[in-house]
Chains A and B, each alone.
Chain A
Amino acid sequence: MIKITLKPKFKIKSEMNLKNLSNHKFNRKLIYKTKILYDNQEIALDKIFEIKIDKNEEIQNELVIFDLNKNCDYLGWKWRDGILRVKSNVGSFLGSKMIAGQIFVDGSAEHFVGSQMCGGKIIIKSNVLDFAGSSLPGYKKGMSGGLIIINGNARDYLGFNIRRGILFVKGNVGNYSCNSMIAGTVILKKKVGKNLGFGMKRGTIFISKKISSLKNFTRIGEIKNSFFNLLNVYFIRSFGLKIFQKGEPLIKYYGDKSLDGTGEIIVKK
């Protein structure tokens, strides 16, 4: 297994498209041949980054990138193998259309994090902006598998058109979260903005406190369910994140009624 480390040779001030960085397949020769778009020009990777390739003691290949910023888009596009570690903030479309593997970001990310991803894990230490786990512009199906954990806040349209997979936000979320949700699981630990689950067809949303805008949902009542225990135990054991206390009563709401939806919003009692 190998570990590739990339450090920019200068401060990135223009738009950078890192889509091609997912094509090297951890091959030493291919990495040097990789070209990326910087300021709308195709430039060899080694002209922008210092490339260091070492042996990796981990089971998986690893790509570590330092000092990126919000200008760096499309990192981890269609990512399918190994670990990608970002030791800074990053731009939009992080892990979009991701297939497998893992992405860890030590800072924040911009829009469309994990949009249309179908597998793998994305773990963000800080905040993200709009459309995390959603569909890409012009498409109707959002994230269809995998897991996104956002340890900070997320802004609007989180999980827009989400179809499958799990989204976990430890902080606050903005408006229109889980709009037109097709299925999947979304866990929101803190404050939730307006119009949660509007147009929801199926799927599960966890929220910590009841919110006023659940008019389109019918209250089912208190539930005790093995699936929620399973999910809770999975997050505790794998990531040290607790969704609810063991034995804590949960209330189920069912909707969106306006669409004959059968989605569920689970609220801590």
Chain B
Amino acid sequence: MIKIENTFAEAFPMKCSRLIVTAHNKNWVKNAAESFCGFATSVIACGCEAGVEAYLSPKETPDGRPGVSILIFSMSSKELSKQILNRTGQCIMTSPTSAVFSGNTGKEKIPLGNALRYFGDGYQIAKVIDDKRYWRIPVMDGEFLCEDYAYQIMGIGGGNFLILGDTVENVLFAAESAVKKMKKVKNIILPFPGGVVRSGSKVGSKYKNLIASTNFDYCPTLKGVTKSKLDKETGCVLEIVIDGINKKDIEIAMRVGILEVKTLSPHCGIRCISAGNYGGKLGPYIFKLRDIV
């Protein structure tokens, strides 16, 4: 029986935006999305957290081509705006056949085509369709189409749960199974590589300049050295971090992921499910594992 610890995950408010990227085919959609979401795992050092929310069929995109919905999160409006603009300019505009649209509306605007248009050096064209302005920027494969603004909405970052097991192989298998199911949930992303993080952090460090450092309570190699939360038989811990637009969808994703791990055989090597919390230091959103499941 896989135990669910009586603990909670702790999350914090973030600024968020959704972008829809389309391209000539799925391959170039994927290339653009992967490039945009590269080096966007954690706000600790990347400036933002970004990931693919869902791949979209031509019927779901504004220009009838294959597309992808990307969610990007950051701690401040200014940083979010900067990250979106830089990443769109360097990763999407550069990707052949791509176009980018805002995937949500909101009161706070983030310049997108409005700033990138200057790349057209005077040959850019503005077009208004259904009260939305688009910029057509001439590039070497034709035109880069870009909506005038993206829009900021409120999001939540840092929903999480930990999978504790005996070996790396077993915990990795459980984490992969959970991620596969969780990726089907809308309005969330799993920003870490493959949706899984091994270097869970705690707030602060013994070194003054570091804002985060390794969560040694859960490091198996420090059992006996520090006050570990791991028992003798636990040899690996992996974390799944969830950012989402609202609390409800993060809860759904956590529930789907935890239940997927729980459906694994009792002999799968998974010992328990826990969560990262910092005793209320981190943020106002609380996700109690037992309540969620």
Question: Could you list which residues of chain A lie within 8 angstroms of chain B, going by C-beta atoms?
Answer: 119, 145, 147, 164-166, 185, 202, 204, 223-227, 229-234, 238, 246, 262
- Cβ of B143 within 8 Å of any chain A Cβ, yes or no, is yes
CB-based contact B63/A229 at 8 Å: yes
A202, closest chain B residue (CB)? B125
CB-based contact A234/B143 at 8 Å: no
Chain A residues with CB under 8 Å of B145's CB are 225-227, 230
- Cβ of B102 within 8 Å of any chain A Cβ, yes or no, is no
Q: Tell me which of A145, A165, A227 contacts B143 (CB under 8 A).
A: A227
CB-based contact B127/A185 at 8 Å: yes
A223-B142, A226-B97, A226-B143 known; A231 and B129 CB under 8 Å?
Answer: yes
- Cβ of B89 within 8 Å of any chain A Cβ, yes or no, is no
Most chain A beta carbons < 10 A, residue from B64, B97, B123, B136: B64
The minimal Cβ–Cβ distance linking A166 to chain B, given in whole angstroms, is 7
- Cβ of B140 within 8 Å of any chain A Cβ, yes or no, is no
> Within B106-145, which residues are at the interface with A (CB < 8 Å)?
123, 125, 127-131, 134, 136, 142-145
A57 to B234, CA, bound (A): 63
A-B contact pairs, 6 of them (CB 8 A): A225-B142, A225-B145, A226-B97, A226-B144, A227-B136, A246-B64
Chain A residues with CB under 8 Å of B289's CB are none
Q: Tell me which of B123, B127, B130, B131 contacts A227 (CB under 8 A).
A: B127
- Cβ of B65 within 8 Å of any chain A Cβ, yes or no, is yes
Q: Tell me which of A164, A229, A233, A246 contacts B128 (CB under 8 A).
A: A164
A225 to B145, CA, bound (A): 8
A225 to B127, CA, bound (A): 13
A70 to B223, CA, bound (A): 90
B122, closest chain A residue (CB)? A262
17 more A-B contacts (CB under 8 A) besides A227-B63, A233-B63? A145-B128, A165-B128, A166-B128, A166-B129, A202-B125, A224-B142, A225-B136, A225-B142, A226-B144, A227-B136, A227-B143, A227-B145, A230-B134, A231-B129, A233-B64, A234-B129, A238-B130
A164 to B127, CA, bound (A): 8
Chain B residues with CB under 8 Å of A223's CB are 142
A230, closest chain B residue (CB)? B63
A119, closest chain B residue (CB)? B131
Closest 10 CB pairs of A and B: A226-B99, A230-B63, A226-B145, A233-B64, A229-B63, A227-B145, A227-B136, A226-B63, A225-B143, A234-B129
A262 to B121, CA, bound (A): 14
Instruction: Give the size category of B's interface with A.
Output: 20 to 34
CB-based contact A230/B128 at 8 Å: no
> Within B1-52, which residues are at the interface with A (CB < 8 Å)?
22
Question: Could you list which residues of chain B lie within 8 angstroms of chain A, going by C-beta atoms?
Answer: 22, 62-65, 97, 99, 123, 125, 127-131, 134, 136, 142-145
Chain B residues with CB under 8 Å of A226's CB are 22, 63, 65, 97, 99, 142-145
Q: Tell me which of A119, A232, A262 contacts B64 (CB under 8 A).
A: A232
B135, closest chain A residue (CB)? A227
Chain B residues with CB under 8 Å of A204's CB are 127
The minimal Cβ–Cβ distance linking B120 to chain A, given in whole angstroms, is 12
A34 to B144, CA, bound (A): 50
B142, closest chain A residue (CB)? A225
Chain B residues with CB under 8 Å of A202's CB are 125
Chain B residues with CB under 8 Å of A233's CB are 62-64
A164, closest chain B residue (CB)? B128
A144, closest chain B residue (CB)? B128
B62, closest chain A residue (CB)? A230
A145 to B134, CA, bound (A): 14
The minimal Cβ–Cβ distance linking A168 to chain B, given in whole angstroms, is 12
Chain B residues with CB under 8 Å of A145's CB are 128
A224 to B131, CA, bound (A): 24
B136, closest chain A residue (CB)? A227
A234 to B131, CA, bound (A): 12
The minimal Cβ–Cβ distance linking A58 to chain B, given in whole angstroms, is 19
The minimal Cβ–Cβ distance linking A121 to chain B, given in whole angstroms, is 9
A164 to B126, CA, bound (A): 10
Chain A residues with CB under 8 Å of B136's CB are 225, 227
Chain A residues with CB under 8 Å of B129's CB are 166, 230-231, 234
The minimal Cβ–Cβ distance linking B185 to chain A, given in whole angstroms, is 27
A230 to B144, CA, bound (A): 12
A234 to B101, CA, bound (A): 14
Chain A residues with CB under 8 Å of B143's CB are 225-227
The minimal Cβ–Cβ distance linking B98 to chain A, given in whole angstroms, is 8
A63 to B131, CA, bound (A): 23
The minimal Cβ–Cβ distance linking B47 to chain A, given in whole angstroms, is 28
The minimal Cβ–Cβ distance linking A262 to chain B, given in whole angstroms, is 8
Chain B residues with CB under 8 Å of A229's CB are 63-65
Chain B residues with CB under 8 Å of A227's CB are 63, 127, 134, 136, 143, 145
A235 to B246, CA, bound (A): 33
